[in-house]
Homo-oligomer: A and B are copies of this chain.
Amino acid sequence: MPKKPASKKASVKKEPAPAPVPPAKAPSPPNAPPLPMMPPFGLVPGFPPLIPPPPGVDPAVWAAAAAQHAAQQPGGEPKSKEQSMKDAAAALQSAAQLSKRRRCMVAVDEVPGFVRTVYTLLRVCDDSIIGWSEDGTQILIKEPDRFAAEVCPKFFRHRNFNSFTRLLNMYQFHKVPSVQRDSKDVCFEHPHFQRGRDDLLPLVQRKGAQTMRDELMAREMYARPPFPPGSGVEPVHAVGPGQWTRRMAELESDVRALKAENERLKRLEAEREALKCQVRTQDDLISLLQGAQGNHAALVDKSAIPGPTSVPGLEAAKRLGLPPPPEALKEALAQMGNGPLMMMMSMMSGALQEGLARAEAEAQAPKDAAALLQGLAASTPRKTERSEDTDTPVAKKAKV
């Protein structure tokens, strides 16, 4: 697995001014050495030193510890615990994130962020709130309330004790029933989570983590599934192993077909896109016609319809904050009596009738009819294989 141990320690300096999470108040003395480079672990007073030579330690984690250490360096004065916790929390935040994000199919020996966070948390928090059990195999939250209110928000994005326990459970910690009935302290443990044993931390893994899962699974499964593309094996247990080859082939075939199909759909989709534009344009046109109807002079200039987006009526409706009721238009149209169209129609009908009358009047001559007929006959059939096509609709309408 690819690991990048190099440059790890260096990254410690990454946190120039750890300036922990919350306050901006003098995170670190300006003149103070930015970040002492010495091995950062094992410096928290009262706690066993972390293994000095971090073997497979994630650089970020190392950095976190360093940051915390640095924060404590100046002096263990007032903020001692306070500030150190803050710093540690901050450092951990990033460390956790780092290791996690980077993970994705990580090496098996990676320490989950949460685990690291809790581990650090135990070192920097006030013992009156949370700490190790005497034997160093359990976590003892003595004051759950304070822990939730004061500690949680510094290390997590919440202030609920339940959220903390949820994650503990997620990482396979288990609650240890308190001996005393009334005591409010809570106790958790994990076989591989022990004081001073951060070498075991990588074994504390999330429930559904695929960290090594894949590898293990694969190895476990061993290549059972992809059973050798038919050799002489399938026949034996026809149902079983040979299945794989067949399934594989089917899958590939299906995928090929689907791809082709989708290709076709995509093409059609493009066509649809054009259709959309067309509809939009029609919409504009209709609006225009309607507008012209209402006001002969005020014709909407089409040039005013720059893009496909502007649909006069719609825009107006939008601006008015109206629910877009298409009926409104229709109603309005109905009420206002359609000017242009009606005009046009009436005009047409008038002219037609007139023309017809005239034609009739003039139609005394059969020869004329013949001439007409000629033209007619010539034009009618037009390469239509089945003339019904041409005639039928017309005929029907004519009858009406």
**Identity of the chain B residue whose Cβ is nearest the Cβ of A289 in the assembled complex:** B341
> Which residues, 275 to 316 on A, are CB-close (under 8 Å) to B?
275-297, 299-316
A322 touches which of B217, B234, B343 (Cβ 8 Å): B343
CB distance from A198 to the nearest CB of B (A): 13
Judge whether A248 is part of the interface by a CB distance below 8 angstroms.
yes
Task: Tell me if A's interface is mostly helix, strand, loop or mixed.
Answer: helix
Is A75's beta carbon under 8 Å from chain B? no
Partner of A218, one of B183, B242, B252, B370: B242
CA distance A92 to B175 in the complex (A): 15
- Residue A126 interfacial (CB < 8 Å): no
Contact B237 A358 (CB under 8 A): no
* Among B24, B135, B252, B374, contact of A395 (Cβ-Cβ < 8 Å): B374
Contact stretch, chosen from A38-46, A114-122, A381-389: A381-389
A293 close to B174 (CB less than 8 A): no
> Bound complex: CA of A291 vs CA of B235, how far in Å?
75
The answer to whether A206 has its CB under 8 Å from any CB of chain B is: no
Interface status of A191 (Cβ within 8 A of chain B):
yes
Q: How many copies does the complex hold?
A: 3
Given A90-B181, A240-B233: A339 and B352 within 8 A (CB)? no
On whether the beta carbons of B314 and A149 are closer than 8 Å, the reply is: no
- Complex-state Cα separation, A388 to B383, whole angstroms: 11
Q: How far is the CB of A133 from chain B (nearest CB, A)?
A: 5
Contacts of A248 in B (CB 8 A): 225-226, 244, 247-248, 251
Shortest Cβ distance from residue A153 to the other chain B in the assembled complex, whole angstroms: 8
- Asked whether A329 lies within 8 Å of B308 as measured between CB atoms, the reply is no
Once the chains bind, are B14 and A134 in contact (CB under 8 Å)? yes
Within 8 A of B (CB), among A86-134: 90-91, 93-94, 96-98, 101-102, 133-134
Q: What residue of chain B has the Cβ atom nearest to residue A97's Cβ? A: B177
A173 to B364, CA, bound (A): 73
Q: Which of A1-50 contact B (CB under 8 A)?
A: 4, 6-7, 10-16, 18-22, 24, 34-35, 48
Starting from the known contacts A278-B279, A282-B286, A352-B354, 4 additional A-B residue pairs (CB-CB under 8 Å) come to A221-B243, A230-B233, A303-B304, A327-B352
